[in-house]
Amino acid sequence: MQLCVLNLDYFVFQFGINCKMIYYLCNIITTKLKKLFRIFLFFMMITCTTKLQASTCIPTGTTVTLTRQSEVDSFPINYPGCDTIEGDLIISGNDIVNLNGLINLINVKFLSIDNTSILNLVGLNNIINNIDILVISENQKLLNFNGLNNLDSISRFIVSNNDKIIDLKGLTSLKKIGSFELSQNDKIQDFSGLDAINFIWSLDVLNNSSLINFKGLENLSYLNNFTIDGNNS
């Protein structure tokens, strides 16, 4: 019965009721098949554990900063199988020209992209679920938000000091934003690209010198707080 009690508490913690059920099956199966069945379960649990550990990286309370293109490119090598980031991911460095190495990410809690040379956000295409905090700042070559086309919601969204963006195109699936700050983007003219947005709790539009109008927010049905200041146009 040793293989049947392979640290049951660990597997119940990791996999919940399914592994507990496996444990009981292991004890009731016929004696003739028990040895073979236990070996099968042993390897299955090892496989499950490996998969679980590989799917999540950068745990809560941990920050990983990528400062060079080579570090972005090596992300899937350094974090094999990782699709979920519970901690903070910071991408910062003018050597960085694309985010293709992040293509496997599905869930991200905190993501900051600043002072890079990227033209768009291609590489983040598979991020669908809510991002708790997303900061896009001081990317002087950024032209649009292509790459975040599948993202549906952001709890806190900061877009600031990106000199070349003229609108918000690329955020075609974005429906809800908790807190949205759009500030000091010198060439942004309107909100085009946010055509799906219907909910913003708080919107701060500050010091965007070329802002003309609020085109792109026609479908917005809820806005709780609104601040606008220093937009010269």
Three-state SS for 25? helix
Same domain, 89 and 203: yes
Taking only the tens place, the pLDDT of each residue in 123-149 is 999 999 899 999 999 999 999 999 999
Taking only the tens place, the pLDDT of each residue in 154-204 is 999 999 999 999 999 999 999 999 999 999 999 999 999 999 999 999 999
Same domain, 144 and 222: yes
Same domain, 32 and 6: yes
Same domain, 124 and 32: no
Q: Output the CA torsion sign for 105, 107, 111, 117.
A: positive
Same domain, 198 and 116: yes
Core vs surface per residue 27-41: b (16+ CB within 10 A) or e: eebeeeebeebbeeb
Domain that holds residue 71: 58-229
Among 55, 71, 95, the domain-final residue is: 55
pTM of the model: 0.77
Same domain, 162 and 123: yes
Structural domain count, the chain: 2
Render 46-84 in DSSP notation, one character per residue: HHHHHHHHHHEES-TT-EEEE-SHHHHHTHHHHSTT--E
Other beta carbons less than 10 A from residue 73's beta carbon? 16
Percent of the chain at pLDDT > 70 equals 76
Rounded CA-CA distance 167/199 in Å is 19
Taking only the tens place, the pLDDT of each residue in 53-91 is 447 789 999 999 999 999 999 999 999 999 999 999 999
Same domain, 44 and 143: no
CA dihedral 53→56→62→63, nearest 10 degrees, is 130
Rounded CA-CA distance 137/187 in Å is 14
Same domain, 47 and 133: no
Same domain, 48 and 158: no
Same domain, 137 and 200: yes
Same domain, 31 and 88: no
Output the domain CATH number for residue 137.
3.80.10.10
Same domain, 8 and 75: no
